[in-house]
Every structure is written in C-alpha cells, then in structure tokens.
Amino acid sequence: MALDNIDTKLLGLLQEDSKKTTKELSLKLNLSVTAVYERIKKLEKEGIISKYVALLNRSKIQKGFVVFCHLKLTQHTKEFITQFEKEVVQLNEVLECFHVSGDYDYILKICVKDMEEYREFMVTKLTTLQHIGSTHSTFMIGEVKNTTIYNL
C-alpha cells in the first residue's frame, strides 16, 4: 500500500500520541472525522498500524537497569536456532531480541531492577537455555535517544 501525504501526517500524529481522538486528528488534518476514522481502519487492516501500546517509564516501575547481552550459540543449526528463539521469547526480562550478523548471534535488551536482579536472571534463567556458547553483557550508562517514532 502506498502512503499518501495525509496518511504520512496521520501516522506521525498517531505515533506522537495514539490517544488523540478522531475529532482532534480531523482538525489537525483538515479532514472529516469519518475520513480520519476510515484511514485509520485502512492502515490497521493493511498491517501498517500493528497495535497500540502504553509506553512505561522504566525507572518508575523498577526496571531501569538496562543490559545489552550479546550471545553466541554453540552451533548454528536450524534446530538450535529454533529452540533458542522459542525459549528466549518466554523470558519476561528480555524486551527485545535480535538475530544479528557478526561476532555474536543474538543481541538481547534486558530490563531489570539492578545488578543483583540481572545476576539472578543470568544464573537462573538465561544460562539455563540450551545451546548457549557464550555471553557478553554491556550495561547502559545513560540514555541519549529512545524513540518509537519512525520518520516517514
């Protein structure tokens, strides 16, 4: 689906604040409420808008310790990859997991309360997964940029 200028503006507004009403959006886009509603439904149907979420402040919910864990598997067979991915998606502490190229096979973004909770996570959960060869952890010192907005 090709996005026109209005779709692009609409998506930008929704990315900034998805709780805006269709009336508020219609005023910003100079469209009728019905036209805005129909465009949103079309964008949802096409899968361009996949879901709506509330973004939480990590430090206010005691998940402010952010770790990027680089991980190598012992082998790169389809069976090992499938098994690891099936297991890692079950770990609530892992917010993001990327299969990557380079020296490591995966990068995990892990959010926990503190170093002690991270150690507990490593010992009792992550290192118990099958086929892990090695890990390398990097800890966030400060956040420079964190956005969910795609520039269209």
Give residue-wise pLDDT tens across range 62-77: 999 999 999 999 998 9
Average pLDDT over every residue of 17-21: 96
Residue 87 has which token pair?
């297991």
Side-chain half-sphere exposure of 8, counting CA atoms within 13 A? 6
Could you give the CA distance from residue 36 to residue 29 in angstroms, rounded to a whole number?
8
Residue 34 has which token pair?
């019905």
Q: Is the pLDDT of residue 1 over 90?
A: no
Q: Is the pLDDT of residue 135 over 90?
A: yes
Average pLDDT over every residue of 8-26: 97
Instruction: Report the relative pairing of strands 65-73 and 94-99 from DSSP bridges.
Output: unpaired
How much is the pTM? 0.89
Average pLDDT over every residue of 57-64: 96
What pLDDT sits at residue 12? 97
CA-closest candidate to residue 118, choices 140, 95, 93: 93
Express as a percent the part of the chain with pLDDT over 90. 98
Q: Is the pLDDT of residue 134 over 90?
A: yes
pLDDT bin (cut points 50, 70, 90) of residue 102 is very high
CA-closest candidate to residue 10, choices 46, 24, 148: 24
Helix (H) or strand (E) holding 139: strand 132-139
Q: Where are the beta strands (DSSP E) in the chain?
A: 65-73, 94-99, 106-112, 132-139
pLDDT bin (cut points 50, 70, 90) of residue 100 is very high
